[in-house]
Structure 1
Amino acid sequence: MIARSPALAMTPEQMAQRIAAAGNAARREDQAALAKAGEDKARIMAELRSLAGSAWTRADQKNRQLWFGLGGVAAGILACAVLPGLVAREVAPTSWQWPERMAARTLDMPMWEGGQRLMRTSAPGAFANIAAGDRIVTANREVLEACRKRANKARKEVRCTVRVAPAAS
């Protein structure tokens, strides 16, 4: 049985050729596996580079969003500070009295008291004269009204006598 074995019928050269062929076949499989592993490695490296690049891009985008957001807030604050006054002075009709209302609201006072405060602060002497004149007119309202009727009837200036109280000290 051993004598009939095909391996004993081969010459050493044939045996060497068969061993070499088997080795070549095994190496081809290994080379194919190595080539596939190299391709897989290259593909995975490309994916990793893409992910790392997109991570940097995301961080840059978040920074840009932050800066644009802060710029928008600053522009909004500036617009809110400038636009209402511009619109109140230049666009709205004067009968709406927006600048005056804005001044009173800024002072947190009714318009009459706010106006008095602005006049008193701007020109104290002139405001004192206005206040003194108002006291005289208020104290002599009836006399001045009768005097005005006489002037209208006479169609010329007339003399009137008013009473002035001493200044309170």
Structure 2
Amino acid sequence: MEGATGRLDHIGKMLAAAPVMAMTPEQMAQRIAAAGNAARREDQAALAKAGEDKARVMAELRAIAGSAWTRVDQKNRQLWFGLGGVAIGILAWTILPGLVAREIAPASWQWPERMAARTLGMPRWEAGQRMMQSASPTAFSAIVAGDRIVTANREAIEGCSKAAARTHETVRCTIKVGARP
């Protein structure tokens, strides 16, 4: 028992020498309060950081949602600009070639005539006849009738032209006109 008593004395001396034992209950309460305040400050700092993190995340989410709407708006704008570009291209394609053919290209190139024939899908001669006939059927009939008369009387007209050239005067010619078919 003496060994146990010795050990208890030793432990008692150690406890008596401990600084905790020298404190009064008020000092102990102050120390506990200070430790609690320190712990609460850490908790408050952690809560404040969590609040800041939450605010930052919410701002990022708003930005993402806003950019999603912005992307949709941007795609719509791109679609409308693309359609507008196509419409302007079609309009330019219909106006520009005719303008170039009429105003810029030399007349000897005959681009307007070639374009008209290509548009009708015919050789230029037949395309010209069709355009004249659609523009004025009466005048076209007169041209056709005149062509028939000239073709039927080619030799007589050529003889009269030579005689007029020799005499340098107007000459009278006799031609034959057949009935219209």
> If the length of structure 2 is used for normalisation, what is the TM-score?
0.81
Instruction: Measure, in 1, the Cα distance between the counterparts of 2:173 and 2:37.
Output: 136
RMSD: 2.0
The one-letter code of the counterpart of 1:84 is: P
Question: 2:178: which partner in 1?
Answer: 165
Count the aligned residue pairs: 168
Instruction: Measure, in 1, the Cα distance between the counterparts of 2:163 and 2:97.
Output: 49
1:63 aligns with 2:76: yes
Between structure 1 and structure 2, the one with the greater Rg is 2
Question: 1:114: which partner in 2?
Answer: 127
1:23 aligns with 2:36: yes
Q: Any gaps of 5 or more consecutive residues in structure 1?
A: none
1:128 aligns with 2:141: yes
Aligned-residue sequence identity (percent) comes to 73
1:32 aligns with 2:45: yes
1:51 aligns with 2:64: yes
> If the length of structure 1 is used for normalisation, what is the TM-score?
0.86
Instruction: Measure, in 2, the Cα distance between the counterparts of 1:118 and 1:165.
Output: 27
Question: 2:114: which partner in 1?
Answer: 101
Task: Tell me by how many angstroms 1:131 deviates.
Answer: 0.7
Question: Over residues 54-107 of structure 1, what are the superposed CA-to-partner deviations in whole Å (9 max), with x where a residue is unaligned?
Answer: 222222221211111111111111111222222222222222222222221221
